[in-house]
Structure 1
Amino acid sequence: MPQTITKSAKDIVRAALDSTPAINAEEALGLVGSSEHIFVDLRDGTEQAKTGMIPGAVASSRGMLEFHIDPESPAHKSEFNEDKTYVFYCASGGRSALAAQAAMDMGLSPVVNLTGGVGAWKKAGGTLE
Structure 2
Amino acid sequence: MFGLFGGGPKMPVNDVKTAIESGAAVLVDVRDPSEVRASGVAEGAINVPLTTLQMKANPSSPECLPAFKEGKTVVVYCASGARSAGAAQMLRQMGHQSVENLGGLRDWAMGGGAVVPAA
TM bracket (short chain): 0.7 to 0.9
**In the aligned structure 2, how far is the partner of 1:72 from the partner of 1:82?**
13
After TM superposition, the runs of 4+ consecutive aligned structure 1 residues lying more than 3 A away are 29-32, 71-75
Q: CA offset at residue 72 of structure 1?
A: 4.5
- Unmatched segments (≥5 aa) in structure 1: 1-12
- Is 1:124 matched up with 2:111? yes
**Native 8 Å contact 2:16 2:25 kept in 1:** no
Correspondent of 2:53 among 37, 60, 65: 65
Counterpart of 2:66 in structure 1 is 78
**Native 8 Å contact 1:21 1:111 kept in 2:** no
Q: CA offset at residue 28 of structure 1?
A: 2.6
Q: CA offset at residue 123 of structure 1?
A: 1.5
- Unmatched segments (≥5 aa) in structure 2: none
Counterpart of 1:109 in structure 2 is 97
Instruction: Encode CA deviations 1:32-55: one digit per residue, 9 max, x unaligned.
Output: 423111001111111112222122
The percentage of counterpart residues that share the same residue type is 34
TM-score by length of 2: 0.82
**In the aligned structure 2, how far is the partner of 1:107 from the partner of 1:71?**
8
Letter in 1 for 2:6: A
Bigger strand fraction: 2
**In the aligned structure 2, how far is the partner of 1:106 from the partner of 1:124?**
29
Letter in 2 for 1:60: V
Letter in 2 for 1:46: S
TM-score by length of 1: 0.77
